[in-house]
Amino acid sequence: MKLINCPINGVRPVSEFVFGGELREMPDPDQCSDADWATYVHHRNGAPGLKKEWWYHAPSGTWFIAERNTMTEEIVRTYLFGQEEEK
């Protein structure tokens, strides 16, 4: 069974979680170029490696960030959004 450590609820089976997509920083639409904005809207980086992703613990309604190596399927760490430094 694959396990994920929810920062609020602890270690749970992956069946309790929903993938929410890669954490991507949005450029300022008023300041960035059209090319940068188009890249943000349309392009995704599919190369395997260590990524920051949104995950959702469905039973408790907790959104959090997981740093996951998409090559090895290893979750390095998890934390609540904005609390990266505390972990």
- Number of helical H runs and strand E runs in the chain: 1, 6
Nearer to another protein, 9 or 70 (CB): 9
Which of 32, 40, 51, 62 binds another protein (CB under 8 A)? It is 62
Task: Return the number of other C-beta atoms located less than 10 Å from residue 25's C-beta.
Answer: 6
Q: Rounded CA gap, 39 and 24, in Å?
A: 11
Q: Order of strands, edge to edge, in the sheet holding 62-69? A: 17-22, 50-57, 62-69, 74-79
Binding of another protein at residue 9 (CB under 8 A)?
yes
Shortest spacing between CB 34 and another protein, in angstroms:
39
List the interface residues with another protein, window 21-60 (CB under 8 A): 57-60
Which residues of this chain interact with another protein, rule CB under 8 A? 1, 8-9, 12-13, 15-16, 57-62
